[in-house]
Amino acid sequence: MERMNQYSDEELIKKWPGFVNKYATVNEVNLHYVEGGTGEPLICLPGWPQTWYSYHPIALELAQSFQVFVVDIRGMGSSEKPEAGYDKKTMATDILALVKHLGLSKVNMMGHDIGGMVAMSFAFNYPESLEKLIVLDGAHPSEGMFQMPLIPSEGTFKSKMDANRPYPWWMAFNQVKGLPEKLLAGRYQVLLDYLFEYVMIDATKMSSFERELYASIYNDAENIRASNGWYQTFIQDIEDSKSYKQLNIPVLGIGSYVSYNFMKMGLPYVANNLDVIGMLNSGHYMYEEQPEQVIEGVVNFLTENKN
């Protein structure tokens, strides 16, 4: 019990001075989030296979300038894990309902990985509720996903992901229903350790504590099932995207060495007021590898043109 307790939201929040845990039932789903800081509201959405705690390298600094809300999206961490509703449009509606629950009319939003997909869906569906959008190594699902290779090109599948011909095999693995949880329940850190080594330049920046924390959560079969739901709805997400109009709000894309080229090519098709910057000295988990650069990019973007 003592080992599990150190990974509870109640214990983890003690590492974030000035932040508090909160819960809200919105859009018929119970969401956990943490709140801290003062200033304009900034909604932060994490990605797979992490939780709200993934923002720990940057949250305290961001809270010096903004009122920060880091949300466990539907199916993540201590948030509810229903059987359905993992398409990004529904998940964006969860976040809209939370924004209204908080009494906010307009917010800034940033999302990493799957969180970036939800943030972009929010922008497409509720632009009137958004001031600025930041996506980090994560964009809305598109038909380009159908071009991902089942088998990697010769010489491209090594110990580190190839930036020119990436092979994200888990995008297909997570589509499989029922099997991943049987294989990985209780053994998730095997996958985590492999993943961090593969997509990070310096995997030592993901600490042992963080690895054990995320493993303690994703070891649970129901949590694996729910998180894989984010992937199993990509077909619906792609279909939804066909009706979306280009974004006119200010958008910042931040890409690691893994995703920068693809974000630079893809985001101009969906955003008119766009800047894309490359963080090429970092792998996919930029908050852990290059937190200072992330903070600088985010703060500069959110405060530019402000009096």
- Predicted local distance difference test score (pLDDT) of residue 172: 96
For 115, the enclosing helix (H) or strand (E) is helix 114-125
pLDDT for the residue 5: 86
Rounded to 10°, the helix 234-241/114-125 angle is 30
Which pLDDT score is estimated for 4?
A: 52
What gap in Å lies between CA 211 and CA 76, rounded to an integer?
A: 16
Which CATH number among 3.30.70.260, 3.40.50.1820, 3.30.9.100, 3.40.50.10360 corresponds to the domain 2-146+237-303?
3.40.50.1820
- Residues 114-154 pLDDT 10s: 999 999 999 999 999 999 999 999 999 999 999 999 999 99
CB atoms within 10 A of CB 38: 11
pLDDT digit string (tens) for 71-113? Answer: 999 999 999 999 999 999 999 999 999 999 999 999 999 999 9
Note the pLDDT tens digit of each residue in 184-223: 999 999 999 999 999 999 999 999 999 999 999 999 999 9
Q: How high is the pLDDT of residue 1? A: 37
Q: If pLDDT is split at 50, 70 and 90, which confidence band does 3 have?
A: very low
Instruction: Output the pLDDT for position 235.
Output: 98
| 255 or 304, higher pLDDT | 255
DSSP reduced 3-state for 44: strand
CA 278, 281, 283, 286: dihedral to nearest 10 degrees?
-70
The pLDDT > 70 percentage for the chain reads 98
Give tens-digit pLDDT for 5-32.
899 999 999 999 999 999 999 999 999 9
How far is it, in rounded angstroms, from Cα 226 to Cα 27? Answer: 17
Say how far apart CA 42 and CA 62 lie, in whole Å.
Answer: 9
Mean pLDDT on 271-293: 98
pTM given for the model: 0.97
pLDDT value at residue 2? 42
